[in-house]
Chain A
Amino acid sequence: MSSYLPVLVLFVLAVAFGLLSLLVSITLSPKARSQAKEAPYECGIVPGREAPERFPVKFFLVAMIFIVFDIEIIFFFPWAVVFRELGGYGLAVIGIFAALVFESFVYLIGNGALEWGPRQRQRRAEIVSPDRTLTSTIRRVGAEGRPAALEPAALAPAAHHAPGHGDHGHGDHGAAA
């Protein structure tokens, strides 16, 4: 009986927390329901289409990384139980293990895999990129939602001559097209 008591207590706590959260949310939140409030953008912009992709891929990456470190943690449990017996040897073994896994964390940081927001936005803001080509210019205007495969193959080689004729300016090409 006694061994299940902690489980039961935990279970009760978990349920209580869930219920409490719901209850607090219901009772304390201000209720002002109107059409404008229910709309996706309260500022008045009408959404053009349903957003099919809710999450960027980055979330998935974070989830993957979470699993990796989760599994690392799991191995700490058996060690923690017997670490007095194992002594320095066990510490060395788990230290090597942790260092190896932690090293991937260094890689993540070094690669900016955990960076959000600003950097991405900067890159997107570069509308006039130095390696802009004829094709990319055309695609920018009125081509949204068109699959990339539709890009005319005949225009692709134009990328090769663009550097040679840099002084022409890309706007001219766009106008010609």
Chain B
Amino acid sequence: MAVNYVVFFICALICLLGATGVVFSRNPVHAALSLVATLFGIAVLFVQQSAHFLAAVQVIVYTGAIVVLILFVMMLLGVDQEEDIDEEPLLGVRAAGTIVATILLLGLLAVFFLQSNRSTLVTGERSVTAPLSVDASLDSTKGVAETAGPDNMATLGRLLFTRYVFAFEVTAALLTIAVVGAVVLARRPDRLQPVPDEPESMDDDFMAALESEAGH
């Protein structure tokens, strides 16, 4: 029992420190690496909630691939470029960001503190507290993790291959499009510029070109 608390607080600390690092790092690569820490902390929190699949996705896709992609983009643009953080690219961005963040924080706190009368706050028939498990009843005395149990991944697999089998196969098409799109767009033509206008008459332009050539 105590382990859970310890794990939670350590991971929460990792998440928060990572997030702070993302915001305050001067070097973009350090910011990206801080993001890894945050995502990893979240992954552990997912494990704690018995959301093993989400934890795997978090580590394999987000930490493993997305952050790598972010780093690649930085390398493409050049890591040695330092951004002047004190300069606002758009006027009022910082103020707007602060306001939005404050509202978000207040909203989260509201959910947290007003949870006792959840039914009025979250209006749905089944709110996010419903477990994914096969035959777990909606027992409000138990938490998510207890009812879902460690067999979360299996439940997900069963659902994915029965009810959502069509959606699952469509995902493959989506991935194919991503590959084709990436290849098509990464293909660089010899020159990227507005295609010069077609001459309306070959002869005139030929003469014009000759003249301009002679003028040089």
Is there a direct interface between A and B, measured as CB atoms under 8 Å apart in the complex?
yes
List the interface of chain A (C-beta within 8 A of B).
1, 3-4, 7, 50-55, 57-61, 63-68, 70-75, 77-83, 85-86, 89-90, 93, 96-97, 100-101, 103-105, 107-108, 111, 113, 134, 148-149, 151-158, 160-161, 173, 176-177
Selected interface stretch from B86-94, B101-109, B112-120, B152-160: B152-160
By a CB distance below 8 angstroms, the chain A residues around B180 are: 104, 107
Q: Is the CB of B209 within 8 A of A71?
A: no
By a CB distance below 8 angstroms, the chain B residues around A3 are: 150
Q: Is the CB of A157 within 8 A of B44?
A: no
Given contacts A101-B172, A160-B206, contact A60 B66 (CB under 8 A): no
By a CB distance below 8 angstroms, the chain A residues around B216 are: 176-177
- Distance in angstroms from A29 CB to nearest chain B CB is 22
Extra inter-chain contacts (20) besides given A89-B161, A101-B176, CB under 8 Å: A50-B80, A55-B72, A55-B75, A57-B188, A60-B73, A60-B186, A64-B178, A67-B61, A67-B66, A70-B60, A70-B65, A71-B65, A74-B57, A86-B157, A90-B161, A93-B161, A93-B165, A157-B206, A157-B208, A161-B202
List the interface of chain B (C-beta within 8 A of A).
3, 7, 44, 47, 53, 56-57, 60-61, 64-66, 68-69, 72-73, 75-76, 78-81, 150, 153-154, 156-158, 160-161, 165, 168-169, 171-173, 175-176, 178-180, 182-183, 186, 188, 191-193, 196, 199, 202, 205-206, 208-209, 212-214, 216
